[in-house]
Structures are given as structure tokens and as C-alpha cells.
Structure 1
Amino acid sequence: MTGFPSAIRTPDQKLRVFISSTLKELAPERKSARIAVERLHLAPVMFELGARPHPPRDLYRAYLDQSNIFVGIYGDRYGWVAPTETVSGLEDEFNLSGSLPKLIYIRETDGEREPRLNDLLDRIRTDDTASFKYFADADALTGLLEADLATLLAERFAASARPAEPEHTAEVEDALGTFPSPVTELIGREREVASLKRTLEREEVRLVTVTGPGGMGKTRLAIDVGEDLAAEYPDGVYFVDLAPVLDPANVVTAIAQTLGVRNTGDGPVEGKLVIALRGRRVLLVLDNFEQVLAAAAVVTRLLSALPELNVLVTSRALLRVNGEHNFELGPLAQPDAVGDERPETVSFAAARTSPAVALFVERSRAVRPDFELTPANVGAVVGICAALDGVPLALELAAARIRLLSPELMLARLDRRLPLLSGGASDLPARQQTLRRTIEWSTQLLGDEERKLLNRLGVFVGGFTLEAVESIGADDGADVLTMLGVLVDSSLVRQEERPQQTYFTILATVREYALEQLESGGELEDLRRAHAEYYVRVAANADRLLDGKHQVEWMSRLVDDRENLRATERFYLDRGDWETATAFAWSLYLYWWIGGHLGEVRGWMEELLAADAELSPAARARALYFTGAIRFWQDPVDGITQTLTESAELFAQVGLPKAEALTLVSVALAALEKGEAEEAESVLETSLHLFRGANYRWGEAMALVSLGLAAILRQKLPRALNRFEESLALTLRQKDKLGATIALHHCGWAHLLLGDADAATTQFEDSLMLSRDLGHKEGVAYGLEALTAIAAQDGDAVRAGRLFGAALSVREQTGLYNAPSISFHRAWTGPLQSGPLAADFERGEKEGRHLGVRAAVAYALPPAKGGAMDVFGDRLSPASPLPPMPKDTE
């Protein structure tokens, strides 16, 4: 493409996805497409994000020339044809897409499409280089586009990766699955990247700490190096953000959480980590370690136990442990003449090659696309870089002001303000003072209300939503959204689009500054209380909605908020507010369970009980439940039954029937563990009665599953199947996806024990698919184990071994191996392991251990069941013994 201004720049420098469609007609679809692209940390290239001074045709042609993937979205309209053109911009964009990979989405319609659009679509359908699908609405488009982009990228990644046996290849999606994807290009660090990579590639080097003051770009450097080294670590490169972790004791939990290892309270998390990583070639990137230096021993223990593990740390201070290699990161290089001559005398050529200048210019273009370094402004730009000591974050904060301040005016203000600002940190290193002074300079350019809001944002741990900000930052009549926009434009707050809402974060250095301002102003305690009270309200809403059709949506939201939830619990524990602390933990019970955080909850409740404080009956009941029910899975002794019984009695005393019924389920499970099936059934019938009286359908469904298990132990298989089917019907009516996976799984076992292997296979497969689609790895492990029994019954020792090995691997890598397996597969695998096919089974098991989760599920399921699972519509398997689901009338 020629004849258009190539200097028009796309909004950022990442892998770019060009989105083509009519604008007004498909505005909701364009928003959905943007969300899908940004969720994968790619850059959406869209006409409306561009530089308005340029003619529209020049703009989209320039953008297309810089894009990597073409996405076309089509509705009913063909689009406007300019007076001098023969085709609309919509068709012109497709014509100019050339050899780009093309993903085409056509909206289903009841009306008539314009004739010229029909002609274009006919041509697209015959284009062998374009993939096209139909979609119903904007929400459906988000899911389709996200899945297709992920598949496209995975295929291209796999095509460029080194050859490997398909059954032993680590999953592409897991290789960098925990890595943040920066929205901007790393500028001026080519030598540092190469040097750090060489250091990590040395065989004797297993721990490298990148040190330097805040704002130097340590995190950004580690991300780029980690991405570049992904091919060297076939089992994954994992990024662990320790910025929200304030207690060194929680470092192990943060690492485990990143790797998907669950802290279920049934064993030490560090031991689970060692098992999960054993034999795996992994690079851990531990970011922001300076505030948890007391946890350095954890790193050395992991390195000692795991010879294949390497660790890259970023920190303002060294860990000071054996084997540590320091990589000190300094500021960006400035033109050689700075320091010897006045900035205005630096040559234009020397300035253009300076990394500090290049970073300032690039970040300035992000807010003013037409900004260029010129002989007229080069002196001022070089002066800005000198005033800010080449500190990358300081340069970015200054560049964010380029829309309002010319370089000359900015330099004058910096020269006047920076020497006067100390921020109470005169004991810090000089360059750290530079950053803090730059932050304060940036805040001085804000209005009083924006500055007040920025300080208040310091109470958030991790990210936050607009609603959360309004709860702590909205004075009467304040326009929080507008003020947040000012902070985003100033680079003091960062914005990210999530499927359900917009999410905001602030850098650790900015948060430190904000907290200092709150503390010095005497506002910190009040703001922390307001923060905690808001998340108590969030938890109360979650308590009502986590067990129904909004389950996935709320789980996603709570995962985003998890650090703020932890901070809320800590707030009430530290102040001895046991009632609120226990009530808050209880309202999030399903989240802690599904998310694998029950071990943390148990620790909080043990701390509370150890305080020997006076507790209300409700608070004591909750604390006893969490300590007893969670500890049961690790150590099911008589004392735990006593603990749980006391908890149930206290719940009954204060009139909380749902909580009493839930506790009785755990009492019954303890009885089952001891082989007391009849006693368990009696307790469960009481629990079921309480759940039904409280109209708590989720609890009722779980009690029915437990009653089915008791019936199996009593060899009453038809009764067991009946209980499981009742549970499944309830979960389907409630649109409870997690409950449905559990009920389907147990229905399958009942059918298999009754001799109906076909019905069992169908329900095991349905449960496995639903677990896969939920990302519920515990359910995946159960599903693989169940299908192991099917393969063993068919005499296919190799397949049974592979499924068995894959299930073991999933359990080890998620820390779920200690929980009593609600599965009966070993009764089928035992004869294979001790019979004439033992060698085949063992070979299959070794192969299965190298399958990733997705590969294992794909192997387990027949091709016809490879798509997304929806047991809540009309795709429930015909072999399932359930009536058709009624349509959702809401």
C-alpha cells in the first residue's frame, strides 16, 4: 500500500487486531470486539481511536498497513460510499486486508441486508483465506472472537515452536498464561534484555534478582525477558505479582495461586507446590519482592527441592541468599553531551539515538499522535530527560502531560518544581527521590478533587472498579468517572476493559505515595474502614448470587477482587471485630471453596479462636465450622466430628438453618468416612429438611448428592441414582453449573455400578465437558478418573493408563491430591495394574502424565463432543435420564 501518510501511528505497539465494520449500526458489537481483543492483551485497531486530523481513508489504510490480524463484523448495512470512491470504506478495508489472517463475523438478521453488502459477503464466503461465522448478538460475538483469536495465536505459536511429540507438548495457553501483556513497547533496553537473558541461560545460574529504585522498569524488563525465554521452559513461565502481598507468610500462597495450586487446607501449601513443580522445567518471575524480603527462605527451599526450577526476582533490595545473582538496572541512557554541556546544545542526531528521549517521545505520541521530536523542541525534550534522571516511570508521567504542556513549558515547570519537592523522603537514593518528586509534581497539576481521589485510591489492594471508587471517593456532587478519566490521562491510574466492567489499577510506587498522604492527613483509618465496608456489601451480594445462573460472572468478579477481599478480612481481624470477620468469611463460602482458598480461611479462623476472645454464638459457630470442616479432609478424627456438631448446635441456637444444614452435611461426611452410612443418612435427612425449609436449593442439591453416596455405601444403587438425578434436576433449574458437574458425575457412577456403561459414559463426558468449560480442574480430574474406569472395563489398558496418568497430573499440579476422591475408579484400574496388561497400563500412565489439561480432555472426549458444553439449553445429552429443561423466562 502506498500513497498515504505512513507516519500515522496505531494507538500502541502491540500485536494489532484491525476491526472493520460500520460504526453506528454495530456500535455494541465494536465494543464487544474491543473487549475480546483486550482480554487477550492484544491491541484493537479501530477507526474511532485514531488521529482525527487525517482523512478517514488515509487513516484506516495506514492502520491496516500496521496490523497483524483482520476482523470483519457485518450486519445489514454496506456503509457510505464517498463521492470520489466506487466502494464503501467497509469493502475497501476488506480489499486492502491482503494476506492478513481474516476472522469474519456475520450477524444473524430477520431483516434484509443491503444488496451491495450481500455481494460483499458472497465474495468473502468464497475467499479461502477468510474464516467466517454467524453470531446472534454482541455478547455472543465476544466469546466467538476471543476463542478464535486464542486458537489463531496458539496455532501460529505452535507452528513456530520447536518440534515435539504432540502428546508430550506443554499447553501453549499455559506457557505464558500468567504473564501480564504490557500495552506499550519496551524502549531503550535492548542491551539489558540481552544481558539478562545471557545470565539466566547460564547453567549454574538459577536465581537472578533485578534490583533498582522504583520506577526504573524492573517489572517491564522481567516481562520481556520471560516472554523471550518461554521456549527454554517447556513447562511454563509464570509471573507472580507480589505488590498486593503485604505479609511474607502469604508469598507461598501467591505463588501457588498463580500456578493453579489450591490452598484447600488439607496440607502445607509449600509441599503441594513442590509436588506440582517436580520434574517440570519452569521459570518463576517474582515481582516486587522488596516488601516481603522475610520470605526469601521460601525461594531457596523451592530451588533446593526443584532442580529444574529457575527464579527471576525483581526487588528494590537483594534477597541476600546463597546462589543469588544481582542484575542492577539503572536509568535510561541520555545523550552523551548531557552533563558536559547545556541540554539545548545537544545535537538532534544524538538526541534521537538516546533511549531516554526515545521513551519520552513514544509515550508522548500515545496522548498526542502528531507529536514529533524536532530541531525546535529537542533542547527542551533533552532537558526534561535530564531533569528526570532518565527514570522511565518519571518520563512516562511527564509525557502524559504533553497534551497540555509543550516541552518548553513542561521543562520550565519541572525546573521550578522538582528541587522544591521532597515528599518526606530525603533519605531515599537520589533517583528514587526523582521519581517521588515527579509523582508529586504530577499531582500538583491535578485539581484538588482529583488529587484527593488519587490519595484515596491508595487503600485498594490490587485493582478496583468504578463502583468501588465511588464507595470511598465520592463526596457530595463529585463526578468520580470524570476525575478517574483525568487520572488515567495523567498515567497515574491505569485502565483495563473486562467483560463485565472497567477495571483500574495504580502502580505500587503511586500507591505508596497515596497512602503516605492519607496517613499524614489523618484519613487512612477512615478510608480503610470505608473500603472494608464496601467489600462486605460485595460479599453479601455474592452470597445471594454465587449458587445460580450468575455463578460464573460472580466468580470472575471475585477473582478480580481477591486481594481486596483478603484485605477486608484482615482489617476486621486486626481490629478484633470477630462478628464481622466471621460473617464476611461465611458469606463468601462458595468463592473460597471453588477458588481453592479454604486453607487461608481456616488460618484466619484458627487465629480468631486462638485469641481466646469472647465470641457471639454465631461467630463461634462459623469459626468452628471452617476449622472443623476444612481440617476434616486432612485429618478425619473424632474430635472434628465433635467440633462440627458444636457448630451445628450453635447455628440452630441462633436460628440460622442454612448454616446448620451445611454443617450437618460435613458431620455426615465424617460419619461416611468412618463407614457409618446409616448414621450419615439420618443426619443428611435432617440437613435436607432444613435446606428445603429455608428454600436453599444449592444446599438441597449437595445434600442429595451426599445421600446418594451414603446409599452407594449401603449397596442401595437405585436409591443412589434417584438421589443423584434429583440433585441434577435442581441444579439445572437453578442454572448452577458447578452443581451440575457434581450431579452428572455421580449419576454416571450410579449407572456404571448398575451395569449401564453407555449411560455412564455419556454423563461422565457431559460432566467433564462442563468442568472444562468452567475451568474447574478438580472436576476435570474426577471426569478423567471416571472415564479411566470406562476404558478399563473395555479392556483398553493403554487408554486407561493415559487417562489415569493425566488425572494424577492434574491433581498434583493443582494440589487436590489429598482430598478423598469421590470416585470409584481404582476398583476398575486395580485388575489392570496387577494383571497381564500391567505394562501397557504403566506405559499409558507415563504418557498421560505429560498431557496438559486441554490435551487430556481432548483425548478423553470423542470428536463429536469437542465443542462448548451447554447442559442448560437443548444440548443435554439424549442418554441423560432427565426431562427437557424449561426455557428461561426471566
Structure 2
Amino acid sequence: MMTHSFSTETEQDAPGSAPARDEARQAFADRVPAPPNAMIGRERELDLVRGLLAREDVRLVTLTGPGGVGKTRLALALAVDAGDTGTCGVAFVPLAPLHDATAIPAAIAARLDVQETGDRPLLVDVTDRLRDDRFLLVLDNFEHVLAGAPLVAALLLACPELQVMVSSRRRLGLLGEHEVPIAPLTVADPRQLTTVEALAEVPAIRLFVMRAQAATPSFALTEAIGPVVAEICQRLDGLPLAIELAAPRTRLLSPAALLARLTHRLDLLTDGPRDAPERLQTMRQTIAWSYDLLDPAAQTLLRRLAVYSGGFPLAAAEAFSTEECDAPRKRANEPGQTAESVLAGLTALVDESLLQITDQPDGERRFAMLETVREFALEQLEDSGEAPEAQRRHTAFYLALVERIDPWQALPQETVQRLQTEHDNLRVALSWSIARAPDTALQLASGLWRFWSQRGYWSEGRLWLEQSLAAAPDAQPAMRAAALIGAGRIAIAQGDFDHAGRCFEVSLALAKTAGDHHGAARSLQSLGVVASNQSDFDRAADLFTEALGRFRPLQDQAAISRCLTDLGLVAHRQGDAKSAISSYEEALSLASAMGDTALVELLLGNLGGAYVSAGDLARGEALYTEALDQSRILGDQFGIAVNLYNLADCVKDRGAIAVAWDHYRESLGITHELGDRHLSSRILDRLAHLLTIAGLPRSAGRLLGAAAALRQQIGDTLFPIEEESVAEAITITRAALGNEAFQAAWDVGGAMPSGRAVAEALAIELPPALNERRVALQAQLKLGLTTREVEVLHLVAAGQGDKEIATTLAISRNTASKHVAALRAKLHTASRTGAVAAARDAGVL
């Protein structure tokens, strides 16, 4: 029996996961953010788009209009509406943080929680996820990544149940696209006299009053100020963002004073140059008006904060409070920034609606700019001459964050989540440093490879590492060696072992040149990982032993324990359970002394597998159970999946088939959710074996074909010790079905998308009396009877003749007679009654 043992160094790191919860509700909340406020004045647009989405011939709807018109808010309302109906899946994908169209598949995958697998393009994994489900995909802010429009067309072509809704300042220009122009909110004509009650029903005025009351609860629309508010909204063209920026000023200015300030600005808002981009004909001047109302210190802060992409925490804003950053401003006799003034500036920017605040799961406050505001602020930053220093400060802040990470340890969930939240900022820092500070780029990329590996950003992470290495050919050898190891580790996760080996060979040479003993040891250990994954176990053992010999004098207990774990795994795969136990137990002692609970969990499971291989099933099962308990305490979903798999193997061998089935299915659900295909393929093989035992060989044949196809897709191969159990499953399933039927089932499974194969496996319920069925199957296989022949045998025992059997099974009488003749021959009897008696004696009936 093959147990599944893992090293943090030899297997792909699995993404972290959230605690147990209502899965359906949480999945929707993760994919569609809650609307920030009530929808005002969009009843017609809502009804129009709902009608379009209800039509089967409408696959692509694009909401178009100028910046600030409310496309995102409308798209969000429609997404929530679609989710509330429960008729389809929904995901809301914000594209504003992206820098180019090539990042669109990653953005969609992140929202769908699809992990990149093997060497397949991420778009293929996204397509597989959406192919068979009725789904509404909402792509928000598409205008700056229009080059990605063919990707939308490809998804619609490959996924017949998919609908896409896009918000963009420009249509995509695709066949079948239904464009819905979104106009500004309706405004009142201030030249016509009307009642205050009628004004209060005008959408633009309703929005203004709501936002004014949010800033000043006592604000009320009266006969005196009603017409003034109507004119303000009219001069703002009814643009929601402009209204939301203006209305809070009523806390300081009367509506009349506010209107007076708009006189000059309004001309600029409505009469911009015709050859300017559309977004600059309205919103740019609206934001300029708000910007001009800030004091100089707040203006300076807004400009600098524009370097952050996707939001930032308070500590990031405080990165601009140093004397060095303020030196250029002080030379110009402009105000500097202290920690206190930064906080005051943030307050002012929030009050002006130029920054929004969101609460993070850990309780930390996070600040973000609307993209139109950020565009304007970046222009001001460039004009001020502060951009290089601001970007340097931004990069330094995120370098300090990355330097606190040890990429040689599995990252805890909170660290993974923090880096995920800051991923857009990390991308900005990498882009800037590759162009202007290559050594810094190497430091960033070298520190982030573990995050990219755990989160499944394999292609992106590998590209950043390769670009950083190319940008810094003359960097210190130790720095390049660290980046090469990171690139190689990600290549291992992708199954590209040849490339990984080349990276590690170069990193080893560089580390030796630099006298970097740690780097050399890690390179050797990494080369051992490659050899182990290529089943070159003798070389792997030699490399791990050499690496261990280098780690011991350095007294790096964490590295020693992981190297011992790798040695144990190699010994286990070679069938040397005794040596594996010895290595694992030494590693476990070190990990326990260090308090490394994640490694302790892993080693308990690996040690359990070694004891099972040594024949001590009771000890192995006890260790697996302990490892499973530990993984549940840690919330380690991948560890839970691995330990369930191993425990299922154990209980299956002692005959607890139903318990094993439940463990395998729970493990499969977790691995599929995490996007891990390596272990998923093994679980499908195990489930197939149990299905044949349970009398469901056709389903078993499909799962065996699906498992083999899954391994082929990711370039995965079975270890020799695994091949035996899979071969057994294939043999008994083929025997139960016959060659032709088995091949047909195998082919059907091989053509299934992985998601469908997993869904089929999870939907199957095993029949009762499994232990009795297992005895009957063993007898059937011993006699060489196919499943069809057993069906015929049962009908013969019930007293049916050939004609009745043919009718019952919907086959010809001649075929039925051939089956009866085959039964008599295999059971060595000349009569039908003799065949029944022989079958009962053998345990088939």
C-alpha cells in the first residue's frame, strides 16, 4: 500500500484556507462584494439589463459611459441581484488594479479561487471552472485593458452556459455584444418652478441629499435651498461621483456658497477639449475642484499616496512622514509631513471622499482611492517632481514587509492574506525596481517566491524572478543565488524539473563563489528535491545527505529537520521503512523542540506512513489520526486532505470500506477546492478501487480514466510504489467490466474536465452491505466472471430462461444464451442448476 507522505520542500505548497463556515454564503461573499450604499435612480437600467440577461441569446452585456457615471455601482447591484435569484453562480472581478490585459486571467482566477496547475495556461483552468456551470461573470473597469477583449470572446465560446457583463468606458467591439449606455442621473431643470417634494424625488438630488446628510445629519432639503441644490446637480451633469465629492462640502459651505465655487469649475467640467480622452472631459476637473479645496499639506499627501495601488494601510501612509521625503518640499517653503500631519491629512482626505476606508478581517483599517482620483493625483505627482522619491519610499516600505518573511518556512495564513491584500502594491514595487533599482527587485522577488508558490501564482512569480535576474546580471552572487532558488522552486511546482535543476546548479555555483554556506546547502537540498521527483532516489539521497552535512555545522535546526524529512521521504519511496522511521523521528524531535507545529503535523503523517509500510498498521493509524487532529487545529486544509487520504488507506486495509470512502471523499473535496491536482488524481484512483468493490465498475472505470488524464495534463507520474495499487484497481475493474466496456468507461473519464470528474465522484453513494459485496467480488474475480455474467447468474438463480433474461437485460436471446454457456464453462458444470450451486459454494451468490 502506498501512503502519501509529504515534505514542505518536496511537494507543492497548498494555499491557506478560512475556518469552517456556510460555504455557499461565504463563496458568494468572497466573489461579490457587498454594495456600499443604496442604489438611487437606476430602476430603468436595472430592468433593462435584467431583461437582457434573462434572454438565452444574450451572452455579453457591456455597460458603457463616462468615468464617474456609476457603472461599477450598477454592475454590482446586478451581480447581487443575480446571486439572490440562486439560478446561477456569480463573480465580480475588479480590473482597475491591473496594468495590462495579460493579468486578466489571474484576476478572474483569484475571484473564482482557481489555482494554476502544472504547465497549462491559467486561462485553461479558468475555462474548465466555468465550462459546465450557469454563471454570470462581471468584469469591472475594462477600458484600460481592452486588448483583453479576445479573452472574453474565447471564454464565451468555450463555456456555453456563461454570461459576461462588462463595465467600461468603451465597448469591447465583439460579436454578439449588447451595449447599454449608462447616462448620468436625472437632474431637475432649475428654470422651472417646482415643489420641494417634487425635487426630493429627482435621482441626482436624492443622491446629493443622502451624501450631505451622511456628512451633516441635520442637512434638509427646504423650499429655500431646494432650487440651489437642483442647480448644483445640474452643473455637475448628474454625475454620481461628482455629486458624492461635492455634497460633503455642505458641512463647511452653504449650498449657495458651494454653487458659487462651482461657477468657474463647471465650465471646465462640461466644455473640455474634444480631442481629450473622454474621462478627462468631466471627472478630471471635478476632482481638480475637490483637490483645490484641500490645504497644501493634504494636497501633498494625496499626490504621494497615489503611488499605492489597490489601497494601503496607515503604516504605508506614514512612510511619507520622514524628513528625507519632505526635503524637496521644504526647499520650496511648502509644508512638511510629520506622523501627526499624515494622520490629519488622511482624515481630511477621507472627509473629502477622496479616500475610502475599509475594515480588514484582522481589524486593520485600509485606505483606498477611486481610480479616477488616483489618476488625477498621479498627474499632480509627476508635475510636482516628487514622483521618483515617492516611488522609492513606496518600494522601501514593501521591501521592509518582504524582508520580514522567511521563504524557507511555510507561510502562516495571516502572512499569506497580508501579502495577498498587498499584491497589487508589490507588483508596482517590482515593476519600478526592475527598471530603476534591480538589486531591490532581486530582494523583493527572492522573498516572495514562497507566497507565489503557496497561492498558486506560479507563472507570474516565475516571470518576476526571471525579469529581476535579467535586470541585475551583476548583482552579488548570494542575491542571484537566492532568486534562482526561488525560480527553481516554482518550476518544481509547475513540474518543470529540468528548468528547476538548471536554476539550482547555477545557484550552487554562485553560492560557492560567494562563500555562502547556507545558500550552497539549500541549493544542494533543492537539487535533491528535483532528483526525488524524477525518481532518481539514489542521487536524491546523496544530495540530501551532503546538504545535511552542511546544515549541521551551521546549527540551523529548521533546515536540518526539513532535510531529515526529505531523507526519510526518499527512504520511504525506496521501500526502506526502517531508515525512513529513523529520519522522521529525529526530524520530529527537532521540530517539537522548536515549536514548529506545521512541521510536526507533516512529520506525524509521514511517520504514520512509514509504520504502515513496516507492517505496524495500528501504530500507523494512530499517527495518522494524531496528524489529522493537529491539521484541523492549525486550520491547514491541505494537511487535512493529506492526512484523510492516508487514514483512508489505513482503514480500508482493515476492511472499513465505508469509513475509507468518507475519508477519501472529504479529502477530494478539499484538494479540488484548493486546486491541487497531484493528490486529487490519487484519490480518484482510490475511489475507483472502492467503487469496483462496491459493484459499480463502470463509474470506477471513468474515474480511473479521469485520474490518468489529470496526471497527463500536469506532467505528473506515479511513483513505483503507487503503480502497484493503481494497477490492481485497473485489473479488477477491467475484469468486472470486460475489456471493451472497460476501455469505453476509461475513455469517457479521460475526456471529462477535472471538475466534472470530481463532482461525479462526490455524488456517488455506496450501496450497503459492502463487506459482503467485497467477498463476492473476490470470488467473482477468482472465477473470472464479468459483471454482466454475474447479472445473468442472478437471473438464472431466479429461474429465468434465456428468453426472459434477454428481455430483462434488453439484450438478444442469442447473447443471453452465450452468457449462460460461458457461465457453465467457467463454473465447470453442464447444467444451469449446477452453475447456480457452484456460484453459491464459491460465494458469488
| Range class of TM-score, shorter chain | 0.7 to 0.9
- 1:488 is displaced (CA, Å) by 0.6
Alpha-carbon separation, structure 2, partners of 1:325 and 1:849: 35
What corresponds to 2:526 in structure 1? 666
Partner-residue secondary structure (3-state), 2:30: coil
Q: 1:685 to 1:329 in 2, by over 3 A?
A: same
- 1:204 is displaced (CA, Å) by 1.6
Name whichever structure is richer in helix by fraction.
2
Worse overlay, 182-191 or 228-237: 228-237
Q: What is the one-letter code of the residue matched to 1:406?
A: S
Which of residues 556, 559, 562 is equivalent to 2:417? 556
Do 2:501 and 2:530's aligned partners in 1 also have CA atoms closer than 8 Å? Answer: yes
Q: What is the one-letter code of the residue matched to 1:631?
A: A
Alignment of 1:818-829 (within 5 A): 819=678, 821=679, 829=687
Do 1:708 and 1:724's aligned partners in 2 also have CA atoms closer than 8 Å? Answer: yes
What corresponds to 2:541 in structure 1? 681
Q: Paired residues, what number?
A: 681
What corresponds to 1:450 in structure 2? 298
Say whether residues 1:491 and 2:339 are aligned partners.
no
Q: 1:741 to 1:494 in 2, by over 3 A?
A: farther
Q: 1:827 to 1:247 in 2, by over 3 A?
A: closer
- TM (norm. structure 2) is 0.73
Q: Deviations over 1:304-362 (max 9, x none)?
A: 22222222211111111222221211111123x34xx26xx332122111111111111
Say whether residues 1:702 and 2:562 are aligned partners.
yes
Q: 1:698 to 1:726 in 2, by over 3 A?
A: same
Q: 1:611 to 1:487 in 2, by over 3 A?
A: closer
Alignment of 1:3-402 (within 5 A): 154=22, 171-231=24-84, 236-263=89-116, 266-335=119-188, 337-338=189-190, 341=191, 345-402=193-250
Do 2:118 and 2:495's aligned partners in 1 also have CA atoms closer than 8 Å? Answer: no
Alpha-carbon separation, structure 2, partners of 1:384 and 1:687: 73
Q: Deviations over 1:258-293 (max 9, x none)?
A: 222234664321122223333233322211111111
Q: What is the one-letter code of the residue matched to 2:607?
A: C
Q: What is the one-letter code of the residue matched to 1:849?
A: V
- 1:247 is displaced (CA, Å) by 1.9
- 1:795 is displaced (CA, Å) by 4.6
Which of residues 344, 363, 384 is equivalent to 1:521? 384
What corresponds to 1:111 in structure 2? none
User: Alignment identity in percent?
Assistant: 35
Q: Deviations over 1:800-825 (max 9, x none)?
A: 556546655654554432x5x49976
Q: 1:282 to 1:824 in 2, by over 3 A?
A: closer
Which of residues 433, 436, 441 is equivalent to 2:281? 433
What corresponds to 1:414 in structure 2? 262
Q: What is the one-letter code of the residue matched to 1:282?
A: F
Alpha-carbon separation, structure 1, partners of 2:702 and 2:217: 57
Q: Deviations over 1:80-118 (max 9, x none)?
A: xxxxxxxxxxxxxxxxxxxxxxxxxxxxxxxxxxxxxxx
Worse overlay, 449-458 or 267-276: 267-276
Q: 1:830 to 1:730 in 2, by over 3 A?
A: farther
What corresponds to 1:832 in structure 2? 690
- 1:553 is displaced (CA, Å) by 3.2
Alpha-carbon separation, structure 1, partners of 2:255 and 2:50: 36
Alpha-carbon separation, structure 1, partners of 2:586 and 2:444: 31
Structure 1: where are the runs of 5+ without partners? 1-145, 155-169, 857-890
What corresponds to 1:849 in structure 2? 758
Partner-residue secondary structure (3-state), 1:400: helix
Do 2:446 and 2:465's aligned partners in 1 also have CA atoms closer than 8 Å? Answer: no
Q: 1:367 to 1:450 in 2, by over 3 A?
A: same
Partner-residue secondary structure (3-state), 1:171: helix
Q: What is the one-letter code of the residue matched to 1:601?
A: G
Q: 1:758 to 1:353 in 2, by over 3 A?
A: farther
- 1:446 is displaced (CA, Å) by 0.8
Alpha-carbon separation, structure 1, partners of 2:183 and 2:453: 44
Alpha-carbon separation, structure 2, partners of 1:764 and 1:844: 29
Q: Deviations over 1:41-86 (max 9, x none)?
A: xxxxxxxxxxxxxxxxxxxxxxxxxxxxxxxxxxxxxxxxxxxxxx
Do 1:290 and 1:317's aligned partners in 2 also have CA atoms closer than 8 Å? Answer: yes
Partner-residue secondary structure (3-state), 1:237: strand
- 1:255 is displaced (CA, Å) by 1.4
Alpha-carbon separation, structure 1, partners of 2:702 and 2:496: 34
Q: Deviations over 1:722-749 (max 9, x none)?
A: 4334445555555545444433432343
What corresponds to 2:435 in structure 1? 574
- 1:398 is displaced (CA, Å) by 0.8
Q: 1:510 to 1:780 in 2, by over 3 A?
A: farther
- 1:587 is displaced (CA, Å) by 1.8
Q: Deviations over 1:602-651 (max 9, x none)?
A: 11233455679555423442443344333334455556434422212312
What corresponds to 2:343 in structure 1? 481
Do 1:578 and 1:619's aligned partners in 2 also have CA atoms closer than 8 Å? Answer: no
Do 1:798 and 1:843's aligned partners in 2 also have CA atoms closer than 8 Å? Answer: no
Alpha-carbon separation, structure 2, partners of 1:652 and 1:190: 69
Do 2:62 and 2:171's aligned partners in 1 also have CA atoms closer than 8 Å? Answer: yes
- 1:423 is displaced (CA, Å) by 12
Q: What is the one-letter code of the residue matched to 1:594?
A: Q
Q: Deviations over 1:824-881 (max 9, x none)?
A: 767855643555644497499799934999xx9xxxxxxxxxxxxxxxxxxxxxxxxx
Alpha-carbon separation, structure 1, partners of 2:612 and 2:606: 10
What corresponds to 2:397 in structure 1? 534
Alignment of 1:608-619 (within 5 A): 608=468, 613-619=473-479
- 1:755 is displaced (CA, Å) by 4.5
- TM (norm. structure 1) is 0.70
- Structure with the larger RCO, 1 or 2 (CA within 8 Å, 6+ apart): 2
Q: 1:639 to 1:284 in 2, by over 3 A?
A: closer
Do 1:284 and 1:310's aligned partners in 2 also have CA atoms closer than 8 Å? Answer: yes
Do 1:651 and 1:659's aligned partners in 2 also have CA atoms closer than 8 Å? Answer: yes
Q: Deviations over 1:156-207 (max 9, x none)?
A: xxxxxxxxxxxxxx73321232222233222222222222222122112222
Q: Deviations over 1:377-411 (max 9, x none)?
A: 21121111111111011111111212111222211
Alpha-carbon separation, structure 2, partners of 1:774 and 1:377: 60
Alpha-carbon separation, structure 2, partners of 1:332 and 1:602: 46
Alpha-carbon separation, structure 2, partners of 1:775 and 1:228: 33
Q: 1:838 to 1:421 in 2, by over 3 A?
A: closer
What corresponds to 1:716 in structure 2? 576
Do 2:687 and 2:700's aligned partners in 1 also have CA atoms closer than 8 Å? Answer: no
